[in-house]
Amino acid sequence: MLTCLKIMVELVPMAILITNASEILTMTDGIGIVKNAAVLIEHGKIKAVGDVKPRKRDLMTINARGMVVCPGFVDSHTHLVYGGSREDEFAMRVEGMSYEEIAKAGGGIARTVESTRAASREELFSLGRHRLRRLVQHGTTTVEIKSGYGLSLTEEIKMLMVIKKLKKHSPLDIIATYLVHSIPRQMKRRDYVDLVTEEIIPEVTKRKCAVFCDIYCDKIAFRRKESMRILSTARTYGLGLKMHADQLSNSGGARLAATLSCTSADHLEYTSKNAIKAMCKTGVVPTLLPGATFYLQHKKIPDIKAYRKIGAPVAIASDYNPGSCMIYSMPTIIALACIVFGMRVEDALYGATIMGARALNLEHRIGSIEPGKQADIVILNVDNYKKIPYQFGEDVVRYTIKKGRILYGENR
């Protein structure tokens, strides 16, 4: 009997030749399909793509016949480090209570703040490490991780130092973001904004524990003016800017992202056509999170047609977090982008790779398969790219390769 054995392997061959791929999705000119071709990897980088004739002998070969080769997935928005879980809120939502109602009744982010504060650095590190392994099994090679469940100087720094340690111990590229997520209980809005701008941001910069600063700008979180003050301060400290914008209401978040030329604005369910145009003009990467919309059963979806009309590609990401989306599999997120948001398959794949890289300012290094780029590659067990979302829910990832190292493979 043929048995299927999945193994986590960490091989470091000098060179790998991926041969006979039925499709290579280069993401160089749109999705950039090259059929029946090969990819040569040397010293952790992509050396050649297409009709490759390697001269070296000490070469490991992966026969990708009947498979699709794609850049490793770039998940540019997650809340992967947290303590506890909120399945009771999930149960309340399926019985009709909304995310906002639960938050107002003392649940939501505040619950995870309690359980994250209660967890030690070691516990958070071990939870994070376990979750990162799962990501690798689903083809993610680069991940952004936000803080935001600490809400005090000590606790936010605790989260960011855990992320820093994960970065040190994981083969993945990890990008840390300081997220200004919510106003802590028993604190006045004004005092918390002062604390963020006068103490937390300077400390984050001093410790070099985040690349970006993100703010949750919406009716249940920070106002436009507060967001403006916090992000402007973050910029003066050299942090890149991101926003959780217009998820629950049209709160002017995307417009502010355009004014500040943020690297990305994320969610965007309620963003108007004009704000979309403004964002695209100022180079903000619109980042859509279909997993959260689906998981929260929200009816309002981003204006996909507007992006298509102005020819602006979008990034898609998981938003993996214990409240609004427990999905960390990027193939599932790609399927949801198509099914829930009506995105074209090509655009969803583009969004999960090169656009994710742009949302992290990493497009010079990752997100596409072209000579000179880092060899971050996922090999999928489907013979054409449309089957990635079509085979919804199936485990389609056969190999995950990071910087030329096979992190995950399947032996048959």
Token pair 């742009």 in the structure block, residue: 358
DSSP secondary structure, 123-190, as one string: HHHHHHHHHHHHHHHTTEEEEEEE--S--SHHHHHHHHHHHHHHHHH-SSEEEEEEEE--PPTT--HH
331: CB partners within 8 A, 6+ apart: 73, 138, 139, 380, 388, 389, 396, 397
Distance of closest approach, residue 39 Cβ to ligand NIG, in angstroms: 34
| Residue whose CB is less far from ligand NIG, 42 or 218 | 218
| Residue whose CB is less far from ligand NIG, 329 or 374 | 329
| Residue whose CB is less far from ligand NIG, 47 or 79 | 79
Across the chain, how many H-helices and E-strands are there?
A: 16, 17
CB 375 within 8 A of CB 51: no
Report what 227 binds from Fe ion, ligand NIG, none; CB cut-off 5-8 Å by kind.
none
Distance of closest approach, residue 202 Cβ to ligand NIG, in angstroms: 24
| Residue whose CB is less far from Fe ion, 75 or 363 | 75
Site string for ligand NIG, 41-80 (x = CB under 6 A): --------------------------------------x-
Distance of closest approach, residue 161 Cβ to ligand NIG, in angstroms: 20
By Cβ distance, which residue is nearest to Fe ion? 319
What is the size of the binding site for Fe ion (CB under 5 A)?
A: 1
| Residue whose CB is less far from ligand NIG, 60 or 220 | 220
By Cβ distance, which residue is nearest to ligand NIG? 323
Cβ-count burial 219-246 (b if 16+ within 10 Å, e if not): ebbbeeebbbbbbebbbeeebbbbbbbb
Which one of the spans 90-98, 105-113, 255-263, 275-283 is the region binding ligand NIG (CB under 6 A)?
A: 105-113
- Residue 379 sits at φ, ψ, to 5 deg, of -110, 125
**Of 23, 319, 347, 363, the one binding ligand NIG by CB under 6 A:** 319
| Residue whose CB is less far from ligand NIG, 245 or 349 | 245
Helix, strand, coil percentages (3-state) for the chain, rounded to 5, are: 35, 25, 40
Site string for Fe ion, 311-350 (x = CB under 5 A): --------x-------------------------------
Distance of closest approach, residue 109 Cβ to ligand NIG, in angstroms: 5
49: CB partners within 8 A, 6+ apart: 24, 26, 34, 37, 38, 39, 40, 369, 370, 371
Cβ-count burial 366-376 (b if 16+ within 10 Å, e if not): bbbbeeebbbb
How far is residue 307's CA from residue 276's CA, in Å, rounded to a whole number? Answer: 7
- 244 touches ligand NIG by CB under 6 A: yes
What is the size of the binding site for ligand NIG (CB under 6 A)?
A: 13
Which one of the spans 18-26, 321-329, 391-399, 401-409 is the region binding ligand NIG (CB under 6 A)?
A: 321-329
How far is residue 102's CA from residue 106's CA, in Å, rounded to a whole number? Answer: 7
- 321 touches ligand NIG by CB under 6 A: yes
Site string for ligand NIG, 270-299 (x = CB under 6 A): ----------------------x-------
- 218 touches Fe ion by CB under 5 A: no
Burial label, 48 (beta-carbon count in 10 A; 0-12, 13-18, 19+): middle
- 404 touches ligand NIG by CB under 6 A: no
How far is residue 365's CA from residue 403's CA, in Å, rounded to a whole number? Answer: 11
- 216 touches ligand NIG by CB under 6 A: yes
How far is residue 194's CA from residue 375's CA, in Å, rounded to a whole number? Answer: 43
| Residue whose CB is less far from ligand NIG, 258 or 292 | 292
194: CB partners within 8 A, 6+ apart: none
Distance of closest approach, residue 48 Cβ to ligand NIG, in angstroms: 40
- 247 touches ligand NIG by CB under 6 A: yes
CB 193 within 8 A of CB 217: no
Binding site for Fe ion (CB under 5 A): 319
Binding site for ligand NIG (CB under 6 A): 79, 108-109, 112, 216, 244, 247, 292, 319, 321-324
